[in-house]
Chains A and B, each alone.
Chain A
C-alpha cells in the first residue's frame, strides 16, 4: 500500500468554532475535500471569499479512482495556479490499440491539434491531483488567503434557511454547530447533504461489475491505451490497460453481473486473471484492487437556494470517457464567479440559476456520452451485441467502421449554446469560439492566450482597438494562430469573455452600447 494513502494531508485540529457559545457564521462552507471541493475552495480564495472546507476524512481519496484528466480541467487548474505540476507528473499518450477476440483490429493515433498549451489529456492518479490541490491551498494560506480545511469534520445535520444553512458537524472531539451564508456540497455520490435535504438522485444503474486493479510491472508495454472486446482471457467481457505515472498500470476487467464479489477480489484469483491477460512470465505487483458497479444519474436541480451541489454529489457517470472529476471541476469553474458577483451585490440572485441551466445541460451531455459507451462495451440486448460485434469486425477491414467503435469518448467541454447569458454572435466568426464555448487556446508571441484570460470579465480585441470600459481590454495583433480560431475571414474581432474563460458575445466592430448590453446580460441582468 503506497504511503500516500496513509499520511494525513489535513489532520484534525481543534477549531475555535468548536468552543463558541453560538455557531460561527462563515461566508462559504464547502462540504468535501475531493477534487471538486478543493477546486471550489481554491477558486473562492482567489476571489477573496473566505472559505471553510469540511471533510469527514483527512487523507487523499483511497485507492484506484480517476486517472484521466482532460484538457479543459487542466486549463482550469492553470487558472487556479496548479496546472503545471500536474502536467509535469502526468503521463501523456496518443497511441492506442483495439483488440477483438484474439486479434488486433486496428491501432490509432490521436494526433493532437497543435497550438494549445495543454494536451488533450493526461493520465495521473487521483491522489496526486488531490495532494497538489492541497499544496495549492497551503500556498494560498501562506499568502494570507482565508481558506481552511478541517479534516475529520463530518457533516451530520443540516437546516436550510432562506439566507443561510445551519450545519451540525461531528469531530473526534464531539460535535459543534456552524453556519454558512452559502453551502457548496461536494460530498460525492453518496452526498450526506443531498440526503439530509431529502433530494432525489435518479438515473440508471448498469448491471455489471468491473474489477479495477492498479499494478506495477517492469514489462515492456508501450505507453498506449489497449482495449479488448471479448478477449480470450476474459470471454464475453471487455478489458482495458492504461499507463499511469510511477510505472503503475490501470487494468479494468469487466466481470458481468452474477458474480461472487468477495471471491473475485481474492488476490490469488485476481493474479490468475492478470497472468492470463499480461502473459506468463510478466512480473507484476498488485497495488490496489477493487470492484465497482457504475451508474448514470443526476439531481433534478443543482441549486437549492443557498445550497449548491457540484461534482459527484450532483451527477454521476460511468467512467468510460473520464467524465466524472473532469466535469465536476467544470461545475465549480462555472459556479464560483457567479457566487462572487451575487455575494458582492453586483449581480441578481438569479445569476446562480444559470449555474443550474448550464451545468445540468453539461451533465446531460456527459450522461448521454457515457451511457452510449457503456451500451457499446456491455450491450444490453442480443441485437445490440450483434451490431457491436459487426462494427468491430468491419473496423478491422474498413476505416469507416472505426468511429463507431466506442470504448469511451474522452471528456470535452460543453458549449453552453442555449445559455441565457449568451449575447450577440458575429455570424461570420469561427464556430469554435462561439458564445457559450470555452475560449480556445492559441500561442502568442510570448506565452499562451489562456494564461492571459480568466478570473474576471475581459474584452479580447484582436486586430482592433477597444477603449477601456470598466473591464480590462486584452489587445492582440491578428496572428495566424489567433485568426484561425477567432477571426475566420474577418480582419478583426472583439470578444467578451466571462471569468470562466467562456465566450459571452462577439462582434466584428466595436459598439459601446452593444458591449454594455452583452456585459449586463452575461451578469444575469439581461
Chain B
C-alpha cells in the first residue's frame, strides 16, 4: 500500500459515522443503494488518482474479519 491512507484521517470519528448512517435513515434498501452509488462516484472523482482508487478497491474486496479468522 503506497498511496491509500489507512490511518484515521477524519476529525470527529463518531460524528462522521453518525452522519454517514443518518444519510440512510428511513430509506429503503434500493434508495440506500442508489445513495451509496452516488456517494462512491463523488468520492472517487474527488480522489481522482487511479492508483489510490485501485488500492481502495483491493482493500474493499477483501473481507477483513474473515481473513483474520
- Which of A382, A390, A400 is the one whose CB lies under 8 Å from B38? A390
- Which of A386, A400, A401, A404 is the one whose CB lies under 8 Å from B34? A386
- Which of A382, A386, A394 is the one whose CB lies under 8 Å from B42? A394
The answer for the CA separation of A389 and B36 in the assembled complex, in Å, is: 11
Across the interface, name the chain B residue whose C-beta is closest to A388.
B37
CB-CB < 8 A to B40: which residues of A?
A: 387, 390
CB-CB < 8 A to A391: which residues of B?
A: 41
A381-424 contacts to B, CB under 8 A, are 382-383, 386-387, 389-391, 393-394, 400-401, 404
Across the interface, name the chain B residue whose C-beta is closest to A395.
B41
Number of A-B contacts (CB under 8 A): 27
The answer for the CA separation of A114 and B6 in the assembled complex, in Å, is: 47
Across the interface, name the chain B residue whose C-beta is closest to A401.
B41
B39-55 contacts to A, CB under 8 A, are 40-42, 45
A395 to chain B, nearest CB (A): 10
A interface, how many residues as a size bin?
10 to 19
B interface, how many residues as a size bin?
under 10
CB-CB < 8 A to B34: which residues of A?
A: 386, 389-390, 393
The answer for the CA separation of A442 and B1 in the assembled complex, in Å, is: 46
Q: Which one of B33, B37, B38, B45 has the greatest number of beta carbons of chain A within 10 Å? A: B37
The answer for the CA separation of A79 and B36 in the assembled complex, in Å, is: 52
Contact B45 A387 (CB under 8 A): no
CB-CB < 8 A to A390: which residues of B?
A: 34, 37-38, 40-41
CB-CB < 8 A to A401: which residues of B?
A: 41, 45
Contact B37 A400 (CB under 8 A): no
The answer for the CA separation of A372 and B38 in the assembled complex, in Å, is: 20
B11-66 contacts to A, CB under 8 A, are 33-34, 36-38, 40-42, 45
The answer for the CA separation of A387 and B41 in the assembled complex, in Å, is: 8
The answer for the CA separation of A387 and B43 in the assembled complex, in Å, is: 13
The answer for the CA separation of A383 and B33 in the assembled complex, in Å, is: 8
B24 to chain A, nearest CB (A): 14
Contact A393 B45 (CB under 8 A): no
B48 to chain A, nearest CB (A): 10
A419 to chain B, nearest CB (A): 27
List residues of B whose CB falls within 8 A of some A CB. Answer: 33-34, 36-38, 40-42, 45
List residues of A whose CB falls within 8 A of some B CB. Answer: 382-383, 386-387, 389-391, 393-394, 400-401, 404
Listed by A's residue number, 8 A-B pairs whose Cβ atoms lie within 8 Å are: A382-B33, A383-B33, A387-B37, A387-B40, A393-B38, A394-B41, A394-B42, A404-B41
Starting from the known contacts A383-B37, A400-B45, 7 additional A-B residue pairs (CB-CB under 8 Å) come to: A382-B33, A386-B37, A387-B37, A390-B40, A393-B34, A394-B42, A404-B41
What 5 pairs between A and B have smallest CB-CB spacing?
A: A390-B37, A386-B37, A390-B38, A386-B33, A387-B37
